[in-house]
Structure 1
């Protein structure tokens, strides 16, 4: 797929089928993620691929107990057809159906640079999010559905304990991957004229 087409149509796909994604395709996603640049060419990214049904169910239960209890304390209003209500319904389906998603990838980075005494976290984040975007574009090009989430933040200590993630590793994102049930783009974004300044901040 043309890279520009992939960028123009790389929507966040949260509605994913339960059919397994072949291991070689998941490994291909990671391979393409590691084609990204990294701070000082450190290549300290790490990727945890999760496919085991028990782990997916654990993650769903974690989300339901934390995010679910916060976001969905009140039952949905069947008469509310606002965009906010639709977004909440989409999030509800995503959380409570998380165990049906065939795989998810946790992107992470070791925070061991530029020095052992006082590593600057900004280098870590700049490395892992470049790789994360590569992974999302690769999924789009391969016909897979994916979305970047920070779902682990709802209970990061529990996620670290369950998956054995060390304290000196930053978790960047949790990316569900599967066969898309939703549509790809084109994406809808603000016109560039609204986000570009010339020479000085605030100058159109």
Structure 2
């Protein structure tokens, strides 16, 4: 699924002669603050030219000592790609089913059809049920050059964020997931991924059936400290009109690192909060005025 009409090209100022990139109408700060995790896609294929530009942006990311140990396996519609999509899709359904039960998505407010919790569950169920039909999967990989360390992700995950931001700039969208971890050995055998190379996640990619828009997070004052831990910074104030969320999956009991029913962060559907998931759950609604401020526990629109 790599055919289709390519975007217009232009020679941007400040780049070497002959360098061409698609026209980007999304400013950097706008892209950073409005790139949602997109989990619903049209059937439109992603052109090779778009994939090239997105991966070019991804590979501009920083890495330790500029070693550039990231690699990307792009899965579209070839026989091995289809087999890999099926493997990850089956894992996604197993992991989501366990998480849905463990985190109680069908209990409490989950029984109210229009609650954020219920909309989140519908969004994820639809996502995993149609996983094999997603136009493109990209497996970001890290070629290890030393024993695994807690900081090694710093040389692959920035490239993943670059990838998602570039997709946003070109009118596409994606979501980062960890469902590949449940079938790591099978994927390695199928795709010939060598020992010593870490498959760091699965990025889904396509033309959004939903939409991007302002993401909600906790207030800046809760996340930024000055001088020492827990000391608020009086300048850490959100822009006027910012809307917030405290949504997120239930936390395991103190001292618990997860169980078979609670797969933990490696198998979690992705880094976005439940509000991000709910934002992509149903067709867009009429947005509320941007002047609304203060705490808002509902889903993103």
Give me the TM-score of the superposition, normalised by structure 2: 0.61
Equivalent position SS for 1:190: coil
Q: 5 Å matches for 1:1-204?
A: 1-52=26-77, 54-72=79-97, 80-81=112-113, 82-113=115-146, 119-204=147-232
**Structure 2: runs of 5+ lacking an equivalent:** 1-25, 233-301
Count of matched residue pairs: 199
Query: Deviation digits for residues 86-106 of structure 1, max 9, x if unmatched?
Result: 222211111121121111111
**Contact 2:89–2:132 at 8 Å: present in 1 too?**
no
Mean Cα displacement is larger for which, 157-166 or 172-181? Answer: 157-166
Structure 1 position 55, deviation (Å): 4.2
Structure 1 position 84, deviation (Å): 2.6
Query: Deviation digits for residues 155-183 of structure 1, max 9, x if unmatched?
Result: 21112222111121111221111111011
Q: Structure 1 residues 147, 70: closer, same or farther in 2, change over 3 A?
A: closer
Query: Deviation digits for residues 41-67 of structure 1, max 9, x if unmatched?
Result: 001110111112544543453345433
1: distance between equivalents of 2:192 and 2:129? 24
Structure 1 position 151, deviation (Å): 2.0
Q: Which residue of 2 aligns with 1:116?
A: none
Give the CA RMSD over aligned residues.
2.4
Which structure has the larger Rg over C-alpha atoms? 2
2: distance between equivalents of 1:135 and 1:29? 6
Give me the TM-score of the superposition, normalised by structure 1: 0.87
2: distance between equivalents of 1:54 and 1:143? 27
**Contact 1:146–1:178 at 8 Å: present in 2 too?**
yes
Structure having greater relative contact order (Cα 8 Å, sep ≥ 6): 1
**Contact 1:63–1:95 at 8 Å: present in 2 too?**
no
Equivalent position SS for 1:72: helix
**Contact 2:76–2:82 at 8 Å: present in 1 too?**
no
**Contact 1:111–1:121 at 8 Å: present in 2 too?**
no
2: distance between equivalents of 1:11 and 1:26? 19
**Structure 1: runs of 5+ lacking an equivalent:** 114-118
Equivalent position SS for 2:228: coil
Instruction: Report the structure, 1 or 2, having the larger helix content.
Output: 1
Query: Deviation digits for residues 78-129 of structure 1, max 9, x if unmatched?
Result: 954243332222111111211211111111110014xxxxx34345311100
